[in-house]
């Protein structure tokens, strides 16, 4: 019996190891390739131990690719989008969670279907409107485009987080003489702050990771890093070293952010369906 | 006594007004960037509209007729069904399997689930890039493995394998999400029915299939819906790896739309295609809300 249990556990860990290799091998290969020389990168099978070089990164940052500008654009657009959507989303989410509006169901449905709309179908009409408003190629245009999915996301998530905060809390504060808005800022927002942080991180991630919107709405001045990836690939001959380094720069901050709010990640990615 | 009952009601009415004003800015912004474009798209679908035109001309049902009789349109939807269906089935099976594995593992469950989760943070464009790197016919590692196994095939260049490859890219990135949703469901399964099954002499498989999975079927439906809507949303991996090819083998409806709009510059027809996509995703969204409501009840 003891032996059987032991062998079952061994099998479970072996399977787990297999899953981990499947999930992580790509990320590790990218990381290692970005630190290899062009020659080492293409050795088969890939070497696990090698003398790391930062040549690809040096070329990426200081070469002719103008990478720092891509990085700056990406940072600016995703941070500004997150601030705008979070501000509106926190206020609106509270309104929707507590308002008891008669049309609450319809509003929720509208919000979620906006978030779930296929990106190509959103890009097309926005492109036509933005070109009339001269917003193509501007940072404002891209921020507005990202708002189409991040605002409904923030609204929806904040509604579910605020519904978890008992209404007695703010009612008690109001009985103690707190104004209604003050009760919201001083009592409800701090209570829901883990949810707010998690929502912010996900908004940041959705904007940072986007490629398709950026490929249509940006020009040479406003391109973001995902565009840098596609430029490295589509030009004649792929610069794999720089492409791997760029990929690493794109995913590293998101891995760190994601792990920081790990507890709320699944809830966010499942639109609040998993508490 | 009566007063105490009335006072909270009055306060609630006052709150409602504040809440209305708090929600209003979001609703206005969201309406401006989604409802207006939506109606604009309906309008465009009835116009002869090209990117270089300032004044589109009314075209009646021409775009709709062209789109709905276009073989490529239906083939693209067909491929979307294969892409989404294949991806979803694989993700569901693998995701549930890995969730059960994590559930039964005696130690380090949190560490393992964190590590398994990492692919969901990777930008889809980088996922595509990585797979392209690994499948490259001259120096890709996965291609090398396939060749060592005795198959000489250019995976992304072969119409039969390219679709399988883009499906696997989606499976690699999003199986962890299914895993974590299902795992969260498994962790809410109460002890009693499992103990009762033990008393009845059920083995581990019977407990999984007869007790656990039926109890978490709503979670499984939620995972399916979330994934089915997102699988329609993104075309990034296809754009960077196959560009819809080879021989249109990976041209899904989203990629087809981008092509009609921005390569062929036929906005009117693209708008019609976009509307068909919106109808499908809206129906799925409605279903999602229904499932969630049923869960709360």
B59 domain residue, yes or no = no
Pairing type for strands B47-48 and B57-58 reads: antiparallel
Q: What is the pLDDT of residue B295?
A: 66
Which residues in A lie closer than 8 A to residue B185 (C-beta atoms)?
274
Q: Confirm if A259 and A242 have CB atoms less than 8 A apart.
A: no
CA distance A161 to A97: 9
B71 domain residue, yes or no = no
Residue B144 and residue B25 share a domain: no
Residue B184 and residue B37 share a domain: no
* Closest chain A residue by Cα to residue B172: A23
Residue B224 and residue B123 share a domain: yes
The secondary structure of B219-278 as a DSSP string is HHHHHHHHHHHHHHH--HHHHHHTTT-STTTT--HHHHHHIIIIIS-BHHHHHHHHHHHH
CA distance B207 to B196: 10
Residue of A95, A156, A234 for testing the chain B interface, max B β-carbons within 10 Å: A95
- For residue B126, give the nearest of A12, A127, A247 by CB distance: A247
CA distance B209 to B212: 6
Q: Confirm if A175 and B11 have CB atoms less than 8 A apart.
A: no
Spans of chain B, pLDDT less than 70: 1-16, 295-297
B64 domain residue, yes or no = no
Half-sphere exposure of A65 (CA within 13 A, CB side): 28
Q: Cα separations (Å) of A86 from A193, A199, A201, B274? A: 12, 8, 10, 28
Cβ–Cβ below 8 Å for B285 and A118: no
How many structural domains does chain B have? 2
Other beta carbons within 10 Å of A6: 10
Q: What is the pLDDT of residue B139?
A: 79
Residue B117 and residue B39 share a domain: no
Quickly count helices (H) and strands (E) in chain B.
Answer: 15, 2
Going by C-alpha positions, the residue among A229, A247, A244, A235 that lies closest to residue A53 is A244
Which residues in B lie closer than 8 A to residue A275 (C-beta atoms)?
184
Phi, psi of B266 (to 5 degrees): -100, 85
SS3 annotation, A33-89: HHCCCHHHHCCCCCCCCCCCCCHHHHHHHHCCCCHHHHHHHHHHHHHHHHHHHHHHH
Q: Cα separations (Å) of B167 from B76, B124, B127, B250? A: 15, 13, 12, 10
- Indicate the helix (H) or strand (E) that contains B95: helix B71-104
Beta bridge partners of B266: B50
- Distance from the Cα of B236 to chain A's closest Cα (Å) equals 6
Domains of chain A: residue spans and CATH: 2-53 (no CATH), 66-269 (1.10.3720.10)
Residue B80 and residue B30 share a domain: no
Which residues in B lie closer than 8 A to residue A23 (C-beta atoms)?
115-116, 118-119, 172, 176
* Closest chain B residue by Cα to residue A21: B116
Give per-residue pLDDT as tens, B182-197: 999 998 888 888 888 8
CA distance A151 to A114: 9
B53 domain residue, yes or no = no
Give the range of the structural domain holding residue B10, as residue numbers without chain letter.
2-44
CA distance B190 to A202: 31
ipTM of the complex: 0.90
B211 domain residue, yes or no = yes
Residue of A83, A118, A165, A271 for testing the chain B interface, max B β-carbons within 10 Å: A118
Q: Name the percent of chain B lying above pLDDT 70.
A: 93
- End-to-end CA separation in angstroms for chain B: 32
- Indicate the helix (H) or strand (E) that contains B282: helix B267-296
Which residues in B lie closer than 8 A to residue A15 (C-beta atoms)?
101
CA distance A50 to A37: 10
B66 domain residue, yes or no = no
Whether omega before B246 lies within 30 degrees of 0, making that bond cis, reads yes
Residue B19 and residue B121 share a domain: no
Q: What is the pLDDT of residue A92?
A: 94
Residue B142 and residue B40 share a domain: no
Residue located via tokens 């396939």: B146
* Closest chain B residue by Cα to residue A41: B139
Phi, psi of B58 (to 5 degrees): -65, 135
- For residue A247, give the nearest of B129, B233, B234 by CB distance: B129
CA distance B156 to B163: 8
| Residue B260: CATH number of its domain | 1.10.3720.10
Residue B134 and residue B21 share a domain: no
Going by C-alpha positions, the residue among A274, A272, A211, A219 that lies closest to residue A246 is A211
- For residue B285, give the nearest of A94, A109, A251 by CB distance: A109
Residue B202 and residue B152 share a domain: yes
B99 domain residue, yes or no = yes
Q: How many residues does chain A have?
A: 275
Q: Confirm if A129 and B36 have CB atoms less than 8 A apart.
A: yes
Q: Confirm if A259 and B114 have CB atoms less than 8 A apart.
A: yes
Residue B224 and residue B95 share a domain: yes
DSSP character at residue B193? H
CA distance B77 to B89: 18
- Distance from the Cα of A127 to chain B's closest Cα (Å) equals 9
Spans of chain A, pLDDT less than 70: 1, 234-236
Q: Encode B202-213: b = buried (16+ Cβ within 10 Å), e = exposed.
A: beeeebbeebbb
B290 is written with which tokens?
């229904």
Residue B102 and residue B27 share a domain: no
* Entry pTM: 0.90
Q: Confirm if B137 and B225 have CB atoms less than 8 A apart.
A: no
Interior angle at CA A208, CA B134 and CA A60, nearest 5 = 60
B60 domain residue, yes or no = no
Which residues in A lie closer than 8 A to residue B90 (C-beta atoms)?
none
Beta bridge partners of B58: B47
Q: What is the pLDDT of residue B244?
A: 83
- Indicate the helix (H) or strand (E) that contains A230: helix A225-234
Residue B125 and residue B26 share a domain: no
Q: Confirm if A16 and B99 have CB atoms less than 8 A apart.
A: no
- Indicate the helix (H) or strand (E) that contains B57: strand B57-58
- Distance from the Cα of A59 to chain B's closest Cα (Å) equals 19
CA distance A229 to A211: 9
């Amino acid at each position: 019996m003891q032996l059987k249990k032991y062998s079952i556990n061994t099998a479970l860990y072996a399977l787990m190891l297999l899953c981990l290799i499947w999930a992580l091998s790509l990320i590790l290969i990218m990381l290692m390739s970005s630190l290899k020389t062009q020659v080492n990168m293409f050795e088969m099978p890939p070497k696990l131990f090698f003398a790391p070089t930062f040549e690809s990164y040096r070329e990426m940052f200081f070469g002719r690719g103008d990478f720092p500008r891509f990085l700056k654009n990406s940072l600016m657009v995703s941070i500004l989008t997150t601030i705008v959507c979070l501000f509106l989303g926190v206020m609106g989410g509270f309104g929707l969670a507590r308002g008891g509006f008669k049309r609450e169901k319809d509003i929720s449905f509208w919000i979620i279907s906006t978030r779930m709309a296929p990106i190509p179908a959103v890009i097309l009409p926005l492109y036509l409107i933005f070109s009339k408003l001269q917003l193509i190629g501007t940072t404002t245009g891209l921020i507005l485009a990202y708002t189409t999915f991040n605002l409904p996301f923030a609204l929806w998530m904040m509604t579910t987080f605020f519904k978890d905060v008992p209404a007695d809390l703010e009612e008690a504060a109001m009985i103690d003489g707190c104004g209604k808005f003050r009760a919201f800022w001083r009592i409800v927002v701090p209570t829901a702050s883990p949810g707010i942080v998690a929502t912010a991180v996900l908004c940041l991630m959705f904007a940072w990771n986007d490629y398709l919107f950026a490929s249509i709405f940006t020009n040479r001045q406003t391109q973001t890093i995902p565009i840098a990836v596609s430029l490295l690939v589509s030009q004649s001959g792929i610069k794999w070293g720089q492409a791997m380094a760029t990929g690493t720069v794109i995913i590293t901050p998101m891995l760190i952010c994601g792990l920081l709010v790990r507890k709320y990640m699944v809830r966010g990615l499942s639109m609040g369906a998993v508490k | 006594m009566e007063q105490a009952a009335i006072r909270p009601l009055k306060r609630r009415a006052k709150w409602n007004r504040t809440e209305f004003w708090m929600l209003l800015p979001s609703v206005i912004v969201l309406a401006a960037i989604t409802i207006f474009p939506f109606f604009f798209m309906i309008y465009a679908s009835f116009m002869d509209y090209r990117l270089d035109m300032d004044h589109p001309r009314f075209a009646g049902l021409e775009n709709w007729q062209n789109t709905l009789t276009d073989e490529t349109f239906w083939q693209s939807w067909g491929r979307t069904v294969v892409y989404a269906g294949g991806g979803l089935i694989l993700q569901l099976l693998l995701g549930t399997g890995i969730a059960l594995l994590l559930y039964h593992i005696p130690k380090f469950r949190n560490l393992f689930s964190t590590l398994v989760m990492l692919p969901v943070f990777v930008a889809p464009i980088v996922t595509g890039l990585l797979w392209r790197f690994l499948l490259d016919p001259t120096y890709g590692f996965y291609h090398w493995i396939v060749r060592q196994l005795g198959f000489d095939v250019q995976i992304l260049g072969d119409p039969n394998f390219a679709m399988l490859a883009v499906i696997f890219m989606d499976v690699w990135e999003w199986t962890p999400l299914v895993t974590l949703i299902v795992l969260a469901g498994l962790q809410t399964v109460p002890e009693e029915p499992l103990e009762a099954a033990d008393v009845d002499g059920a083995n581990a498989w019977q407990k999984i299939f007869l007790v656990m999975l039926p109890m978490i079927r709503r979670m499984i439906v939620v995972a399916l819906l979330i994934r089915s809507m997102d699988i329609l949303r993104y075309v990034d991996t296809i754009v960077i790896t196959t560009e819809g090819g080879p021989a249109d083998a990976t041209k899904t409806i989203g990629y087809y739309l981008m092509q009609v709009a921005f390569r062929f510059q036929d906005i009117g027809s693209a708008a019609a295609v976009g509307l068909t996509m919106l109808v499908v995703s809206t129906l799925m969204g409605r279903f999602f809300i229904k499932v969630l409501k049923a869960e709360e009840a």
